């Protein structure tokens, strides 16, 4: 129960901080971080697949999922940037 309360408080603090400093620059940076994390996850799963430490039945769907998420987020930010110009 204590961990749940700490996690909720951390979420509230992060939400309030982001609400205070949120602008287009922060939004772009956060989006690029999310894209980078997903691309990194794709490379990690590919590395695990090549080294045969992860079975292909588990790695391939995760590679596909993280790849699609990275493409969608990058596309959304590109469209948003083009709309602002």
In this prediction, residue 30 carries a pLDDT of 87
Using the Cα atoms of residue 48, residue 54, residue 55 and residue 56 in order, give the sign of their dihedral: negative
Q: What is the pLDDT of residues 34-70, one digit of tens each?
A: 999 999 999 999 999 999 999 999 999 999 999 999 9
> Are the CB atoms for 42 and 67 separated by under 8 Å?
yes
In this prediction, residue 28 carries a pLDDT of 84
């Amino acid at each position: 129960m204590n961990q749940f309360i700490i996690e909720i408080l951390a979420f509230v603090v992060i939400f309030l901080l982001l609400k205070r400093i949120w602008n287009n620059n922060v939004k772009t940076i956060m989006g690029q971080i999310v894209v980078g994390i997903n691309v990194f996850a794709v490379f990690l799963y590919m590395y695990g697949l090549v080294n045969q430490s992860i079975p292909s039945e588990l790695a391939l769907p995760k590679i596909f999922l993280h790849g699609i998420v990275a493409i969608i987020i990058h596309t959304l930010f590109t469209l948003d940037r083009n709309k602002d110009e």
